[in-house]
Copies of this chain bind each other. A is one copy, B any other.
């Protein structure tokens, strides 16, 4: 699949998001389960390309771009390998898994919504597909390593992705993105990243069901 010239911004953001998610997925894997090189590569790549694959399956855009275009696989594999060899110094440098995750989330929400608009689905669907592109890879990773997915339990994870995707769709529908492609995309990603990091910093949460007692995070039944 060839990316048309005007999609260059989307492509660059997509590859940066892919790298951030691959690093994040691989580091999460190393922390959470007893994995070898293959497991680290698998979880890094799945985290990085999983959301885009789910989006493309739902759009019927098969084979998925992240699978056909070798650049995604190469960048994802590179991120996972860096995490594999440098997991200890990376941890010591306090390069936060959360920051990488927020970066991937923001970039994928923007590019996912942009691609959905390109393929002509409705605005609500484009917003949902953008958010799904952002949260999809991490959700598949969490299912594979048997954690309750972040999207279900941690404060403000899907919300910033929905905001970013919504801004992209709004710009797309009003024609703003014709003249302001890259700035709009970066502003939307920046908004998502900021909300996500503020949410983590100040423990902001979406409202909880009224009258239901709180349990420990991740506790089941």
The residues of A with any CB-CB pair to B shorter than 8 Å are: 29-40, 42-43, 53, 57-60, 62-64, 67-68, 70, 73, 84-85, 87-88, 121-122, 124-125, 128, 139, 143-149, 151-153, 155, 157-159, 205-212, 214-221
Q: Report B-chain residues with C-beta under 8 Å of the C-beta of A35.
A: 152-153, 208-209
**A163 CB to nearest chain B CB (Å):** 12
Q: Are B39 and A153 in contact (CB under 8 A)?
A: yes
For A73, the chain B residues whose CB sits under 8 A away are 124, 128
Q: Can you list 19 A-B pairs with a CB-CB distance of less than 8 A?
A: A30-B212, A32-B221, A33-B218, A34-B153, A34-B215, A34-B217, A35-B209, A38-B206, A43-B152, A53-B58, A58-B63, A58-B64, A68-B121, A68-B125, A84-B209, A87-B211, A144-B152, A146-B146, A147-B220
Q: A63-B121, A144-B149, A153-B39 are in contact. Are A34 and B214 (CB under 8 A)?
A: yes
| Contact of B216 with A34 in the complex, beta carbons under 8 Å | yes
Q: Are A34 and B151 in contact (CB under 8 A)?
A: no
Contact B219 A34, beta carbon cutoff 8 Å: yes
Number of identical protomers? 3
Is the pair B219, A157 in contact by a Cβ cutoff of 8 Å?
Answer: no
The chain B residue with its CB closest to the CB of A147 is B220
User: Closest approach, in angstroms, between the C-beta of A193 and any C-beta of chain B?
Assistant: 18
Q: Which residues of chain B come closer than 8 Å to A53, judged between CB atoms?
A: 58
Minimal Cβ-Cβ distance residue in B for A214: B34
CB within 8 Å for A152 and B215 given contacts A60-B62, A220-B146? no
Residues in B whose Cβ lies below 8 Å from that of A205: 36
Q: State in angstroms the CA–CA spacing of A38 and B151 once bound together.
A: 8
Given contacts A38-B158, A68-B125, A70-B124, 13 further A-B contacts (CB under 8 A): A30-B209, A33-B218, A34-B217, A36-B205, A37-B207, A39-B206, A59-B63, A63-B121, A73-B124, A87-B209, A143-B144, A144-B148, A145-B152
Which single residue of chain B is at the shortest CB-CB distance from A59? B63
